[in-house]
């Protein structure tokens, strides 16, 4: 098992090919990264000269900005980057891309680490912060200025924008473009020393104002921001731009394959330009990392934009970042989604080069598939009504035996007590049965799962006509597992719990957070598409063994779906369950 694996993480043996895997395999075959050295920690060329050959065949990284909680889209990126490192005997770094001082917080750093661990991945000693490279990034900018490859531009933001040109028109050089390197350098040092106000000037790479690629029309690489950074405090009042910082971070960490989403495709020429110039200047070592783009995950029925997620939390449409309705990874975890399910999902959707939508049911099916295999079965009555077995003696009790997992007999059976009064689902009785209804109605025989066949005899009603109890008589020789079990044929089979033994518990029935496939499509306010029925809280009657459930235990409640004991609110003695997913897709059209 490779370094990034935690026990229990399966190797990516059954992986299917895709364009990224083909790319990596071609690089491995040509030995492109074989000469790379690794000094143990990230650093510029000098650190690596004479360093040991890099033991990792490839290096990838997951580079979140610590400005929010991770969502389902990030899970794709995490599984991809860590999964490739596992498959190709490489290493995947966890790097916090914390180059923007204003929006970043330690709370997010901790939550991101937790989420990545929870998904089953480990970066060992390879956890990094982009802010650790601020010193190098500054030196590199001085180098570019000195070499005539960057300059300080004192135009206002509006002027810079106006001179940048458009998709059809080339840009125009501004008045500061041809100032001397010495002049630019002096200004840059003043910027660093705090002598200028935010926005007064920026450093720009000097490339080509007429380039057909707007990203090459002298992109900004440094700006003034007098803000306190969550790690470097007030040491800096200038900060590198993301497009400048990111390639350098990759190069210092000796990343081989830098995977990112498609919107960065037009940035790739700058990525290559920058690293090439710094390598030419001896600041970075070759072979350099290469950027490869893939389509981001777009999922129906959710929003995967940090801005919208923050809005849902701040405006209290949900109860915090870990609300089980939210498509964050902490929310998904509380909802009962599994790391194995996410890894299966990532493998199943694969990576492609053009944007497309994945139906939410694909993710739900992966969760069902893993839970079907891994979750033990239990019985819960979610909408209880009494069933009274009139010919069963009051005070009598007997054991029935229910398998913990139908496909795994080695998991054994547990005892469920049968008594005269049971809880059954209200919908399992119909006074006048619709066509094709095989459950309880007067005169019909039904099996009480793991127990006897009963004949329904009628029901009690209150003054308003509501059914308050259902009556039946059991047929003594028909107990499941005995010789006479099949002596009476039935078409219906219902679940039940002994009323005397059952434990009443809070159960939260979660459903999709949005009621439409593309929330907020067009100009519509996405909040209008919220599904008001995404959470329903009920009191259910559970079989007695569930009373002592520990938090985060998962079960299939027979005939209902998969449930998890809530991470925050469930305690042995007072369990609280969340519905993860129903047994079948009720959204299919």
Interacting residues toward ligand ATP by CB under 6 A:
63-65, 67, 73-74, 76-77, 260-261, 296-297, 304, 306
Tell me the closest approach of the beta carbon of residue 342 to ligand ATP, in angstroms. 12
Residue 510 DSSP SS3: strand
Nearer to ligand ATP, 261 or 516 (CB): 261
d(CA 200, CA 192): 12
CA 340 to chain CA mean position, Å: 12
Nearest residue to the partner ligand ATP, using Cβ: 73
d(CA 374, CA 12): 19
CA 95 to chain CA mean position, Å: 17
Nearer to ligand ATP, 73 or 336 (CB): 73
Residue 74 DSSP SS3: helix
Tell me the closest approach of the beta carbon of residue 226 to ligand ATP, in angstroms. 22
DSSP annotation of 85 reads H
Nearer to ligand ATP, 184 or 291 (CB): 291
Tell me the closest approach of the beta carbon of residue 351 to ligand ATP, in angstroms. 9
Enumerate the β-bridge partners of residue 292: 259
- What are the helix (H) ranges across 262-393? 268-280, 306-314, 329-335, 339-349, 360-374
Tell me the closest approach of the beta carbon of residue 264 to ligand ATP, in angstroms. 8
Nearer to ligand ATP, 33 or 264 (CB): 264
DSSP annotation of 443 reads T
**Greatest extent of the chain over all pairs of C-alpha atoms, in Å:** 102
Nearer to ligand ATP, 292 or 424 (CB): 292
Nearer to ligand ATP, 74 or 257 (CB): 74
Tell me the closest approach of the beta carbon of residue 253 to ligand ATP, in angstroms. 14
The catalytic residues are: 65, 296, 306
Spatial CB neighbours of 382, under 8 Å, sequence gap ≥ 6: 425, 507, 509, 538, 540, 557, 560
Q: Which residues of 51-80 are buried (b: 16+ CB within 10 A; e: fewer)?
A: eeebebbbbbbbbbbbbbbbbbbbbbbbbb
CA 294 to chain CA mean position, Å: 17
Nearer to ligand ATP, 67 or 516 (CB): 67
CA 42 vs CA 31, 92, 130, 250, 284: distances in Å: 22, 13, 11, 9, 11
Tell me the closest approach of the beta carbon of residue 299 to ligand ATP, in angstroms. 8
DSSP annotation of 367 reads H
Tell me the closest approach of the beta carbon of residue 260 to ligand ATP, in angstroms. 5
d(CA 61, CA 78): 9
Nearer to ligand ATP, 294 or 496 (CB): 294
Candidates 546, 552, 551, 565; CA nearest to 404 is 546
First to last CA, the chain: 42
Tell me the closest approach of the beta carbon of residue 258 to ligand ATP, in angstroms. 9
């Amino acid at each position: 098992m490779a370094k990034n694996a935690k026990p229990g993480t399966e190797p990516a043996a059954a992986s299917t090919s895709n364009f990224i895997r083909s790319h990596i395999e071609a690089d491995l075959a040509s030995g492109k990264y074989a000469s790379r050295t690794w000094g143990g920690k990230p650093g510029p060329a000098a650190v690596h000269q004479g360093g040991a050959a890099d033991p990792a065949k490839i290096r990838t990284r997951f580079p979140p900005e610590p400005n929010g909680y991770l969502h389902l889209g990030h899970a794709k990126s995490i599984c991809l980057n860590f999964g490739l490192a596992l498959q190709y005997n490489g290493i995947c770094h966890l790097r916090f891309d914390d180059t923007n001082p204003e929006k970043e917080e330690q709370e997010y750093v901790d939550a991101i680490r937790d989420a990545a661990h929870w998904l089953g991945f480990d970066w060992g000693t390879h956890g990094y912060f982009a802010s650790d490279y601020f010193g190098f990034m500054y030196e590199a900018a001085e180098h570019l200025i000195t070499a005539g490859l960057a300059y300080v531009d004192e135009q206002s933001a509006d002027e810079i924008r106006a001179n940048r040109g458009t998709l059809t028109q080339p840009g125009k050089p501004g008045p500061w473009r041809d100032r001397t390197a010495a002049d630019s350098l002096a200004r840059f040092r003043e910027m660093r020393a705090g002598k200028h106000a935010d926005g007064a000037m920026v450093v720009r790479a000097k490339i080509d104002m007429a380039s057909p690629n707007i990203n090459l029309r002298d992109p900004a690489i440094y700006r003034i921001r007098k803000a306190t950074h969550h790690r470097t405090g007030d040491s800096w009042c200038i900060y590198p731009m993301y497009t400048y910082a990111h390639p350098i971070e990759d190069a210092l960490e000796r990343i081989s394959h830098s995977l990112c989403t498609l919107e960065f495709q037009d940035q790739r020429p700058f990525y290559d330009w920058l690293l090439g110039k710094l390598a030419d200047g001896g600041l970075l070592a070759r072979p350099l990392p290469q950027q490869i783009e893939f389509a981001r995950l777009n999922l129906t029925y959710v929003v995967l934009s940090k801005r919208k997620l923050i809005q849902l939390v701040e405006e209290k449409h949900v109860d915090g970042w870990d609300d089980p309705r939210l498509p964050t990874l902490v929310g998904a975890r509380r909802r009962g989604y599994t790391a194995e399910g996410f890894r299966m999902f990532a493998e199943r959707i694969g990576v492609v080069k053009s944007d497309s939508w994945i139906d939410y049911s694909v993710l739900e099916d992966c969760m069902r598939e893993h839970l079907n295999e891994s979750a033990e079965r239990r019985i819960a009555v979610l909408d209880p009504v009494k069933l009274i077995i009139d010919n069963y003696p009051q005070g009598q009790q007997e054991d029935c035996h229910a398998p913990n997992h139908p496909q795994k007999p080695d998991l054994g059976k547990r005892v469920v007590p049968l008594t005269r009064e049971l809880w059954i689902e209200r919908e399992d009785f119909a006074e006048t049965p619709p066509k094709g209804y095989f459950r309880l109605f007067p005169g019909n025989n039904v099996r009480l799962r793991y127990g006897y066949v009963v004949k329904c005899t009628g029901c009690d009603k209150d003054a308003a006509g509501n059914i308050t109890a259902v009556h039946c008589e059991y047929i003594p020789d028909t107990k499941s597992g005995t010789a006479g079990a099949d002596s009476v044929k039935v078409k219906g089979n219902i679940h039940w719990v002994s009323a005397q033994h059952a434990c009443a518990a809070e159960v939260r029935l979660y459903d999709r957070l949005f009621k439409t496939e593309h929330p907020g499509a067009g100009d519509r306010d996405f909040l209008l598409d919220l599904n008001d029925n995404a959470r329903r809280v009920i009191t259910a009657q559970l079989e007695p063994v569930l009373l002592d459930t520990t938090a985060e235990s998962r079960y299939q409640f027979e005939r209902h779906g998969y449930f998890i004991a809530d991470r925050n609110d469930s305690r042995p003695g007072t369990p609280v369950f969340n519905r993860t997913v129903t047994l079948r897709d009720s959204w299919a059209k």
